[in-house]
Amino acid sequence: MSTKNAIIANAIKVIDTESNAIKNLAQFVDDAFADAVEYIYNSNGRVIITGVGKSAIIGTKIVATLNSTGTPAVFMHAADAIHGDLGTILKDDVVICISKSGNTAEIKVLVPFLKEGPNKLIAITANPDSYLGQEADYILNAYVEKEACPNNLAPTTSTTAQLVIGDALAICLLSLRKFSSADFAKYHPGGALGKKLYLRVKDIARMNLKPQVSEQSSVKDVIVEISEKLMGVTAVTRNEKIIGIITDGDIRRMLSKHDYINDLKAKDIMSENPKTVNADILAVDALDVMDEFGISQLLVEKNENYYGVIHLHDLIKEGII
């Protein structure tokens, strides 16, 4: 077998091993899992997640997932906990300890201190009969038959299983909290996903120049307005009401049809009843309008008056597309 084929075969073997292990986790989702979820949901505190080694890294990711889906969480490294970080835990908090074996030295030192307080202890472990499993109030079984590592040593399948258990925990809590897309946007305002959930047309239009002519404006004035406002379009208005639109394409078509343009006015070359959107709708909904009608600009209205223009390029720039 060539080196390339061997690499491909090895990668597929790892994926198969880990996917089978994840599928096998479903049999361990039981009443203890449901009880743990309900306890966290009904608690008045945060979720404190702790662990060491690769489990600690997985713990930080689970903390991030919980925080972004409505469950306040904090990571506390197990080694640091016994050197002052135990002060992180407040009386109403719930503690989750992650350990594949449940018998590491750090866990055996930490757990007795955790048990001294009023906090419930949840274990994510592959060994329910371990020291951690015996001491925990709830066990989330993350058993795996073997690691993807050929020596069965490097944490691979086991950390994947821990991560999946954490995701299941977070999504169950999300569902109980009826955490909506609007809630999600509050926690993700800076990313493209968040923008799709909160960015409105007016937020974009107010940043653009506002091309505008009257129906009696000369063709020269129309061309100057389109050129200076850099939107490739201008609104034609009467008493701040939109009555038409003139695009770059309209200018080109006019020039191809008329030899003399000095007597033409904006009303003679505009397209009537242009597509418009309300300033208060989501930008992603404006994109749907552009897609539906195959256009790249939209005139924007607010309180039935002309407000501005948004361009397809604006949505690309904002990451909506």
| Domain CATH code at residue 168 | 3.40.50.10490
Domain, as residue range, for 43:
3-179
Tokens representing 53 are 């080694």
Task: Judge whether 184 lies within some domain.
Answer: no
Give the residue among 77, 124, 131, 122 at the shortest CA–CA distance from 104. 131
Residue 305 located in a structural domain: yes
Our count of domains for the chain comes to: 2
Query: Is 83 annotated as contributing to ligand binding?
Result: no
**In degrees rounded to 5, what are phi and psi of residue 74?**
-140, 140
Residue 300: strand, helix, or coil? strand
3's tokens: 């080196």
Residue appearing with tokens 């096998």: 24
User: Are residue 227 and residue 151 in the same domain, yes or no?
Assistant: no
Residues 320, 198 contacting (CB under 8 angstroms): no
Please report whether residue 26 resides in a domain: yes
Pull the structure tokens for residue 211.
Answer: 């091309």
In Å, how far from its chain's centre is CA 37?
A: 23
129 with 246, same domain: the answer is no
In this structure, the answer to whether residues 9 and 158 fall within a common structural domain is yes
Q: DSSP assignment, residue 216? A: T
Kind plus residue range of the DSSP H or E element containing 271: strand 271-272
Task: Quote the CA–CA distance of 68 and 170 in Å, as a whole number.
Answer: 9
Residue whose token pair is 């015996």 = 134
**Is the same domain home to 18 and 102?**
yes
Which residues face 282 on adjacent strands? 200
| pLDDT at residue number 197 | 67
Look at residue 259 in the predicted model and tell me its pLDDT. 75
pLDDT, tens only, 111-153: 999 999 899 999 999 999 999 999 999 999 999 999 998 898 8
**What is the model's pLDDT at position 100?**
95
Q: What is the DSSP string of 48-74?
A: EEEE-HHHHHHHHHHHHHHHHTT--EE
Whether residues 239 and 130 share a domain: the answer is no
Identity of the residue numbered 243: I
Q: What is the pLDDT along the chain (321 residues), one digit of tens a residue?
A: 679 999 999 999 999 999 999 999 999 999 999 999 999 999 999 999 999 999 999 999 999 999 989 999 999 999 998 888 899 999 999 999 999 999 999 999 999 999 998 999 999 999 999 999 999 999 999 999 999 988 988 999 999 999 999 999 999 999 999 987 767 766 665 655 666 667 899 999 999 999 999 999 998 999 999 999 988 899 999 999 999 999 888 888 888 888 778 888 899 889 898 999 999 999 889 989 999 999 889 999 999 999 999 999 988 888 777
What pLDDT, on a 0 to 100 scale, did the predictor assign at position 318? Answer: 82
Pick from 254, 235, 251: which is nearest to 302 by CA?
Answer: 235
Is residue 175 domain-shared with residue 34, that is, in the same domain?
yes
272: CATH: 3.10.580.10
Tell me which amino acid residue 141 is: N
C-alpha–C-alpha distance, residues 301 and 312, integer Å: 17
Site of tokens 């890294």: 57
φ, ψ of residue 217 in degrees (nearest 5) = -65, 145
What integer pLDDT is reported at residue 161 of this predicted model? 96
**What distance in Å separates the CA atoms of residue 165 and residue 143, rounded to the nearest whole number?**
10
pLDDT at 188: 62
